[in-house]
Every structure is written in C-alpha cells, then in structure tokens.
A and B are shown apart, each in its own frame.
Chain A
C-alpha cells in the first residue's frame, strides 16, 4: 500500500539557516506528491506539489523535487524565517484513489 515516511522532529534552526526535511514514499503506480503546512492555530494547507518524476514544486521559497529513482520528495528552503515555524506534512496520492496519504508531520522551530 501507499505510505510516507518523514524525518522526526522537531527541527530547530536559527533564522536564515538552510532547511531540509526528508520525505520518502512507497506507492503503487505514479503518485502525485505534496507538502502541506500547518501554522499554529490553523488547518493544513497545501504548500507545493509535483505530479510527475523530476518535477520541482515551489512556493514561498520552499522547493521539493520529485525523485523517482530514490522515491523521495525532500523539502528545502535556502534561508528560513521565524514565520516558517510550523508543522510540515508530506503526502501522496496514487493508485486510482484520490485520497492523499500523509506522513506524521515534522515540526520546524526557527529561532531569531
């Protein structure tokens, strides 16, 4: 079945540091891949997505590249801000079902 594995958090960084949050997946067929973000007190919201191999999703300075050969979709940002502090969820959908499968989420804490 489909599954998503994310690195455990929390990830604690200083402002302007480089961020990587690892995500690997197992899926049938050719999944679409997503990163969702949950800011404190809010619902999960889509951050970026990629729908085929080698696609790069990007938004708000975040990027993730769909790597079929390593079944990965790692989230990166070159310079994090305090306002990026949130929980980040990797997700996929595939196999004819439109129901996304989520990881457990990775908490990011950015200090000034």
Chain B
C-alpha cells in the first residue's frame, strides 16, 4: 500500500542551526502539506504546495521556513536558525485532490528537538 515516508524520525539540533526535514509523498498525489504539533497542542497547518509553488500558508510559516520539491519525488521543509519553540512533531501529508472533501495521507512525523 502506498504511503508517505518522512526522514529523519527524530532530529536533535542546537538553537540557531538549520534543519531540513524530508518527505516522500505518494507518487500520484499532486498536493503536499506540512503540519506541526507542539507537544500537547493542536496540529497546526504550516503550508501547502501544488504545481511547484506554495498554494497556501499559515501565519506560522514565516521567512524562517521554506519548502521545496527538488527532484520530483522529495518534498522538503527547511527551518533556518532554529529556535527552542520550533521543537515539535512535523507531519508531511499528500493528497490526490484538493477540494475539501478529499483524504490527506500523512507520514509518521519527524520529531524535532531544539536545544
């Protein structure tokens, strides 16, 4: 069964460092997403990506963040100059359609710990 895969499963970094989280969406999906969940809080939308550009982003997704689809299979989230409050579980998702009624398929998540 096709699935979304994320790497790394857990990354520990020092404050101020750059982090890249990687995702391989399901191959025939066209829409890609990043969400994050700070421990004990809601799952928050960060950004969606379609046709090689950002289609929607939240207030959280500021200049510190960027996304890229470098090679047609990977979908990456880059976090520059990490802060303590960036510590969270980051979920990648993909979907075939984007009409509000379609299913999102999620990866297992990448846990980021900023020290």
Q: What residues make up the interface of A, taking CB atoms closer than 8 Å to B?
A: 4, 32, 36, 38, 41-46, 49, 51, 89, 93-94, 96-105
Contacts and interface: CB of A to CB of B under 8 A. Distances in A.
Contacts of B103: 46, 49
Contacts of B35: 102
A99 B33 contact: yes
Given A43-B107, A45-B106, A102-B35, A94 B43 contact: no
Interface stretch (B14-22, B71-79, B94-102): B94-102
Interface residues of B, number: 29
A43 B40 contact: no
B65 interface: no
Contacts, number: 65
Nearest to B99: A98
B72 to A, nearest CB: 22
Given A89-B43, A104-B40, 4 more contacts: A43-B3, A43-B107, A49-B101, A98-B31
B82 interface: no
Given A41-B108, A98-B100, A104 B43 contact: yes
